[in-house]
Amino acid sequence: MSWPSGKNSKVLAKAVEAIQRYLEEHHREHLKPLLDFSRKEDRIVPLSEISDHFASSQLYPWHLESACEWLEQEGMVEKLSAPFKLTKRSSDCFEEPAYGLRS
């Protein structure tokens, strides 16, 4: 897929800028549950644990990951990795994203 050029690229750039401005102005309101959870935990929390915490809400894992990635890009949270096993009996550990508020 190629990036649009000319008039289309200007329209797209304006739309992206508008979305970015909206997020910058309203992220505290929209991401309040996630930010409150991060403050309460006060540690680096694996994405699977964040997803488990919000499992009964309408925040889906891919929404949470996108929100965490945006917060990391904005410098509000730190992204590290955390080991996890695919099953309880797994001998191999894998890495998953983990996030924590910057101090």
Domain of 54, in residue numbers? 31-101
d(CA 83, CA 4): 40
Between the alpha carbon of residue 66 and those of residues 2, 8, 69, 92, the distances in Å are 23, 26, 5, 27
Read off the tokens for 88.
């309880």
Amino acid letter at 33?
Answer: P
Q: For 29-46, what is each residue's pLDDT tens digit?
A: 999 999 999 999 999 999
**Residue 11 domain flag:** no
**Residue 26 domain flag:** no
Task: Note the pTM of the prediction, 2 decimals.
Answer: 0.80
d(CA 52, CA 48): 6
**Does residue 91 register a pLDDT over 80?**
yes
**Residue 76 domain flag:** yes
Q: For 39-73, what is each residue's pLDDT tens digit?
A: 999 999 999 999 999 998 877 778 999 999 999 99
Read off the tokens for 50.
């964040």
Please give the tally of structural domains in the chain.
Answer: 1
**Residue 45 domain flag:** yes
Read off the tokens for 24.
């910058």
Q: Name the 3-class secondary structure at 74.
A: coil
**Residue 90 domain flag:** yes
**Residue 59 domain flag:** yes
Q: Which contiguous run of DSSP H or E holds residue 97?
A: strand 94-101
